[in-house]
């Protein structure tokens, strides 16, 4: 932290999408600077192009060479690309993919070297960013490779509920290969710890969804629940984790049962993200739970179809900033409390 402000890295994402639009709209609210010091990793040239295209006359970036030069009352930007970078709004181009990767790498290095307290990633295109250096299905898998230890959980967060997914960006035909007792149990444990440490929820209640229609109807429609999911839930409860289920996904959301739990664990990407985005996508945030660092992102993609039109909502990106800062504070408070408890134990042992 710089003073009492959280140093927040922001990656530019795909330069042909709505990344800069939502970044600029979010950072145009000066109240952001009251609690965080934002540093965009991108291109001043590209930022100027978007600012002119979108007619943001009352906004400007403060160009710096490194974190040490960042101003606490301005939207800072570090140049991560060369001057030949070209913006082609709404198009998927190799140049845009390379620019997204370059910005991500510089930001990641600063994050790894503890120059940043948290990071918010603007949307990338998962196709054009692929290269020998980036061979991942998305941000989540990339961050897991760089900072994950015992696995991560893609956790979608909004004002209604939190929902994580056991499997992320894999073909539907391969989902059952990844739904095992160990994988489900691991995700339950990551979710449980995150709810306590990152969200300050005491004794969190977790709902676990089934994989098959009607959660298999007692074995009439598959046996994944009986063989893998139920044993995982039972093992979690043996570790004093309040996990319940498996619930049939359609009835669970249709009846509003998500309101009775602190979080939901879905088995695969669309099972979790379709109800999440259908119920409320504007303020939704994608949080990579289980990492040693803090990474959030908006719950939308590059939105090529509206790039440069000024139509993109910054609500999701703004909430991603707020959540990253909230989690940083919550983790700091948890670590301080834990350290204090350990000191009290040490003192007690000495006295005895």
Terminal Cα distance for the chain, rounded: 39
Q: What token pair was written down for 274? A: 């379709």
Q: Given a cut of 80, is residue 188 above it in pLDDT?
A: yes
Element housing 51 (H / E): helix 44-53
Q: Given a cut of 90, is residue 344 above it in pLDDT?
A: no
CA distance 101 to 97: 6
CA distance 270 to 168: 9
Domains in the chain (CATH in brackets) are 1-149+287-352 (3.40.718.10), 160-279 (3.40.718.10)
Q: What does the pLDDT read at residue 350? A: 59
* Residues recorded for the chain: 352
Kindly indicate the confidence band of residue 1, based on its pLDDT and cuts at 50, 70 and 90: low
Q: Given a cut of 60, is residue 352 above it in pLDDT?
A: no
Give the residue carrying structure tokens 């198009």: 91
Residues 58-82: pLDDT tens digits?
899 999 999 999 999 999 999 999 8
Give the residue carrying structure tokens 């306590």: 196
Q: Identify the residue with better confidence: 315 or 282.
A: 315
Residues 3-33: pLDDT tens digits?
689 999 999 999 999 999 999 999 999 999 9
Lowest mean pLDDT among 163-177, 269-283, 330-344: 330-344
Q: What does the pLDDT read at residue 340? A: 75
- In DSSP terms, 141 is beta-bridged to none
| pTM listed for this prediction | 0.92
Average pLDDT, the chain: 93
Q: Given a cut of 80, is residue 321 above it in pLDDT?
A: yes
Q: What does the pLDDT read at residue 165? A: 98
- What average pLDDT does this structure show over 159-181? 95
Residues 254-302: pLDDT tens digits?
999 999 999 999 999 999 999 999 987 678 999 999 999 999 999 999 9
Lowest mean pLDDT among 204-208, 212-216, 316-320: 212-216
CB 141 within 8 A of CB 189: no
Kindly indicate the confidence band of residue 94, based on its pLDDT and cuts at 50, 70 and 90: very high
């Amino acid at each position: 932290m710089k003073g009492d402000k959280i140093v927040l890295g922001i990656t530019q994402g795909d330069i042909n999408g709505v990344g800069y639009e939502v970044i600029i709209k979010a950072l145009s609210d000066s109240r952001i600077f009251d609690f965080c010091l934002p540093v965009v990793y991108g291109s001043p040239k590209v930022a100027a192009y978007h600012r002119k295209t979108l007619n943001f006359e009352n906004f400007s970036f403060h160009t710096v060479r490194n974190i040490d030069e960042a101003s606490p009352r301005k939207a800072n930007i570090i140049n991560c690309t060369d001057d030949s970078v070209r913006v082609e709004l709404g198009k998927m181009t190799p140049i845009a993919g390379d620019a997204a990767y370059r910005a991500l790498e510089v930001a990641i290095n600063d994050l790894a070297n503890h120059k940043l307290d948290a990071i918010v990633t603007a949307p990338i295109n998962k196709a054009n960013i692929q290269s020998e250096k980036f061979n991942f299905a998305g941000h989540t898998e990339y961050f897991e490779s760089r900072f994950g230890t015992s696995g991560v959980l893609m956790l979608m967060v909004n004002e209604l509920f939190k929902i994580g997914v056991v499997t992320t960006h894999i073909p539907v035909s391969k989902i059952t290969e990844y739904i095992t007792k160990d994988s489900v149990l691991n995700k339950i444990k990551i979710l449980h710890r995150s709810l306590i440490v990152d969200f300050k929820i005491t004794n969190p209640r977790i709902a676990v969804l089934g994989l098959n229609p009607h959660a298999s109807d007692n074995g009439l429609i598959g046996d994944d629940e009986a063989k893998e999911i139920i044993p995982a839930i039972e093992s979690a409860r043996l570790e004093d984790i309040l996990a319940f289920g498996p619930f049939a996904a359609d009835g669970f959301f249709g009846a509003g049962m998500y309101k009775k739990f602190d979080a939901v664990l879905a088995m695969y990407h669309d099972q979790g993200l379709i109800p999440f985005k259908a119920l409320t996508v504007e303020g939704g945030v994608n949080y990579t739970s289980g990492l040693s660092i803090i990474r959030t992102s908006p719950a939308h993609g590059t939105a090529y179809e509206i790039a440069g039109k000024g139509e993109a909502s910054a609500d999701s990106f703004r909430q991603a900033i707020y959540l990253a800062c909230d989690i940083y504070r919550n983790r700091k408070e948890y670590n301080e409390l834990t350290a204090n408890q350990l000191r009290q134990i040490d003192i007690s042992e000495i006295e005895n």
